[in-house]
Structure 1
Amino acid sequence: MTSPPAPHVEHGTLALGRQLGQGGQGSVHQVLNKKINRADSGGWDVVYKEYNSTVLPQLDATALELAVALLVEPGFGEGQWLCEKTAWPAAVVRRQGQTCGFLMRAVPDRFQFMLRSLAGSGTGTQRLANLEYLLNDDAYVAGIGLTISDRDRLALLADLAATLTRLHRIGITVGDLSPKNLLFATAPRPECFLIDCDAMMLRGRTVLPQAETPDWQLPAGEP
């Protein structure tokens, strides 16, 4: 059976909101006029990742197409789960026929929190709940507005291990695994959510050359 083509969106049809983030490979923006999975309470919000012009020559557009097409691949029963646990690419975005980025699910609210100032001033700012916050001592974690128990931490690690196992089972390898790319929630239950999914390897192919977060690379001698 022939797989359906990967969904495509023309850049000019996107109503973009504010920029949400900026990284070495590109920037992430709100999308005001698109949703995915409309069967679930009207759909999930999406965001747009636009690649920097400097990385486009290294972009494997076919690998991105394959990643997006995975969600609609006949017989692939993991699409719903994949989009519940990761910000997996959901549509290829093109500008005048050239791939320039992709749409993905916006991070669900439960994986965000209001970051309080340790000085106690201001009302706080909404931030992604990156796992890196939990690498600090308990006083710091509580001071910035996070509440997490030792039981929550263990349950979170168990969920991460189960998620990675399931990803590997369906042919997805997480290359750049770091606290910056892992989000967490404690309610209604401890769980993780993975971002930067275009850095993952699908069935041996990657969208861009593999990169590693500084100080989170494999130890010398490891395969």
Structure 2
Amino acid sequence: MKITDKDVIYEDNHYIAINKRAGDIVQVDDTGDTSLEEMVKAYLATKYQKPNGAFLGVIHRLDRPVSGMILFAKTSKGLDRMNRLFHDRKVSKTYLAVVRNRPPKPADTLKNWLLRDRKKMVTKAYDREVKGGSFAQLDYEVVGELEGYYLLRVTPLTGRTHQIRCQLAYMNCPIVGDNKYGYPRGSLRRSICLHSRALSFIHPIKEEKMLLEASLPVDGFWEKFNSLL
């Protein structure tokens, strides 16, 4: 697999935004699979004829089975400034999730304490403070219902590992395909129905308001939900 022009959502001198495919891993891990970071580097090196390779900074990450918007830095200046925006929570993230169970409310704020089980590589949610846990908060709203599935718009207000997957599962709405968090069937495509839809921020160098959106995957399932957006 490689990155092509159709995968690029936005690019300027300092940043490049990619519509990540579910199943792609952002950075190299012990699987040895080619990472998205490597693919984007190769794309930039070819596009700009850089035989010694291109700089690329990883600003944030998406879980392997998650698709959608991910932003990389093309310069060290861009990386440093965007890292600061993320750290200061000045970047708004929007996700779309598909669940099978009807959420208890049409819209709500979920507040939990999350504890990471590093042996099992899962995150557990609690409705009270727990030792070693981290506070997590997200907003969700039901966008609509289609063929017995519910499309949710999710805005995480904190950035915890597996936060959306864990918190939705805790309210008995596991994401479709996410058998790690309670959905009865996994996906053969190494994907779950969680899509990083948009990032909104003030460009730290141009000082312009940015809203970057990633179109839904074309996989025979996701595109049905375009009718609800």
TM-score of the alignment, normalized to the shorter chain, above 0.5: no
Q: Report the TM-score, using the length of structure 2 for normalisation.
A: 0.25
| Structure with the larger helix share | 1
Higher strand content, 1 or 2? 2
TM-score under structure 1 normalisation? Answer: 0.26
